[in-house]
Amino acid sequence: MIRLLHIADIHLNTGFASKENVVREQLKEGLVKSFERAIGYVIEEDLDGLILAGDFLDNDKIPFKLEQTILALFEKLFYAEKHLFYATGNHDPMNTTLFLKKFDEEPFFHYFDSDEPKHLQLTMPSGDILEVVGCGHKSKNEKRNLIKQFPRKINDHIWLGIGHSSVPSAFSVGLKEQYMAASLEDIESLKYDYFALGHIHIQQLLSNRIAYSGNLQGLNYKEIGDKGGLLVELMHDDIRVTPKVFNEIQWEAFDFELTEALTTLSELETALLTFVSEQISDIDRSSNRLILRVNLEGRTSLAHGLKETENLDYLSSVIKRKIGLLSVDLKPLSVSTLVDKQFLLNEKTVLSEAISISKHLNENKELLERLLELPIFKATMTYTEKIAEIRRILEVTEEDLIDCFVRGKI
């Protein structure tokens, strides 16, 4: 059996420039600690090695201190006779990782930084022969599917593939850059025993032998929850993949609905304290390791108060201190003034007229015909598609109109 830890997308030298000093330093330290934990796990559990599936680093600026830490941690692995398989990703600097040259002669270091797939054969302590195929890149914007050039498994050794690549069918939040895109079928057709992927930060198994490990610690509010890597145990005709948690700091984001009942900032403070405590009751909060965002949404008589950064900062600091968190960011995502809708509709105003017109826009045939003549449609669009597009544009909701008028946007 061969046992490896698969991790990726650590982005170890991320700057967290938008954060205040204290939080920034803790986030940076947290990344290093998470990586130390992963290295420690490989050594303590006596695994055979560590796979870094790209984006280990984030950019060219690697602080000297961090460089030294990386060298020391890599050395620790090699001293313990653990293999390190590192394939570069789109965020790994191309020519600036000169400090890793130190390990050019190191038999346990296997660096896949070329856009030519590299194929190694190693005899592992168990006596199993491991065939490893991986590649890196020459451009941050690799459009070619280099995985297509990987050789297929041709013997009964254990085959491991490593690549930093976007698989279009994988789950990701928002639009992820299509970097070295390869389809799941391309990877499956290689018939490898395991394929370690990097690039998408959400841990997921695309099949029982192909997986993204996700990143070691979240980098922003989109990367919430536990983070870590995958323990991969490879046998000749079997495989076991087990998630392992390594993150030091944990990001979370919640939506808080403002209600009419909250009429003072003090009531809001109490409500937020209860809400946040409930939301995080299942999370281990030892050592203030949570960084939270609370999105505020809804209509409230407190809207004006919540426009003031000073008030938001004050509320954040109270929640942070009373609950014991690393940081809280209260974000008024869509907060608007409380209005009496029925009253507004019944008034003789431009707003009530606008609402009644918007309700009937889609039924106005003369208007639809005029709009169809506008040069705004793609040549390939059918009549039905054009009508659907017009209806989409005309769909000005009551809420949007009220917002525009009441907030004084018009």
Residue 342 has, within 13 A of its CA and on its CB side, a CA count of: 0
Report if residue 117 touches Mn ion, rule: CB under 5 A: no
- Residue from 199, 293, 299, 320 binding Mn ion (CB under 5 A): 199
Nearer to Mn ion, 34 or 90 (CB): 90
Give me 387's structure tokens.
């009508």
What is the pairing mode between strands 49-53 and 2-7?
parallel
Report if residue 58 touches Mn ion, rule: CB under 5 A: no
Report if residue 89 touches Mn ion, rule: CB under 5 A: yes
Nearer to Mn ion, 200 or 335 (CB): 200
Report if residue 28 touches Mn ion, rule: CB under 5 A: no
Rounded Cα distance between 377 and 361, Å, is 19
Determine the interface stretch with Mn ion among 32-40, 89-97, 123-131, 180-188 (rule: CB under 5 A).
89-97
Determine the interface stretch with Mn ion among 38-46, 83-91, 216-224, 305-313 (rule: CB under 5 A).
83-91
In whole angstroms, the minimum distance from the beta carbon of 24 to Mn ion comes to 22
Bridge partners (DSSP) of residue 140 are none
Report if residue 11 touches Mn ion, rule: CB under 5 A: no
In whole angstroms, the minimum distance from the beta carbon of 170 to Mn ion comes to 13
In whole angstroms, the minimum distance from the beta carbon of 338 to Mn ion comes to 44
In whole angstroms, the minimum distance from the beta carbon of 8 to Mn ion comes to 8
- Identify the residue whose tokens are 């003090």: 266
Phi-psi region of 81 (alpha: psi -120 to 50; beta: other; left: phi over 0): left
Nearer to Mn ion, 90 or 97 (CB): 90
- Residue from 55, 92, 113, 193 binding Mn ion (CB under 5 A): 55
Residue 317 has, within 13 A of its CA and on its CB side, a CA count of: 6
Number of residues binding to Mn ion, judged by CB under 5 A: 4
Determine the interface stretch with Mn ion among 13-21, 149-157, 194-202, 225-233 (rule: CB under 5 A).
194-202
In terms of Cβ atoms closer than 10 Å to its own Cβ (0-12, 13-18, 19+), residue 386 is middle
Longest dimension (CA), the chain: 86
SS (H, E, C) 100-125: HHHHCCCCCEEEECCCCCEEEEEECC
In whole angstroms, the minimum distance from the beta carbon of 88 to Mn ion comes to 10
In whole angstroms, the minimum distance from the beta carbon of 166 to Mn ion comes to 8
Rounded Cα distance between 295 and 25, Å, is 24
Contact string (CB under 5 A) for Mn ion, positions 90-109, x = contact: x-------------------
Give the residue from 96, 124, 126 showing the smallest Cα distance to 110: 124
Determine the interface stretch with Mn ion among 79-87, 193-201, 209-217, 246-254 (rule: CB under 5 A).
193-201
Site for Mn ion in 343-372 (CB under 5 A): none
Site for Mn ion in 265-304 (CB under 5 A): none
Residue 202 has, within 13 A of its CA and on its CB side, a CA count of: 14
Determine the interface stretch with Mn ion among 88-96, 113-121, 355-363, 395-403 (rule: CB under 5 A).
88-96
DSSP state, residue 54: S
70 contacts 180 by C-beta, under 8 angstroms: no
Nearer to Mn ion, 90 or 247 (CB): 90
How far is Cα of residue 401 from the mean position of the Cα atoms in its chain?
A: 34
Determine the interface stretch with Mn ion among 133-141, 184-192, 198-206, 400-408 (rule: CB under 5 A).
198-206
Report if residue 136 touches Mn ion, rule: CB under 5 A: no
In whole angstroms, the minimum distance from the beta carbon of 61 to Mn ion comes to 17
Strands of the sheet containing 239-245, edge to edge, are 109-112, 83-87, 49-53, 2-7, 228-234, 239-245
- Identify the residue whose tokens are 């192909």: 210
In whole angstroms, the minimum distance from the beta carbon of 120 to Mn ion comes to 23
Nearer to Mn ion, 89 or 161 (CB): 89
Query: Which residues bind to Mn ion, rule: CB under 5 A?
Result: 55, 89-90, 199
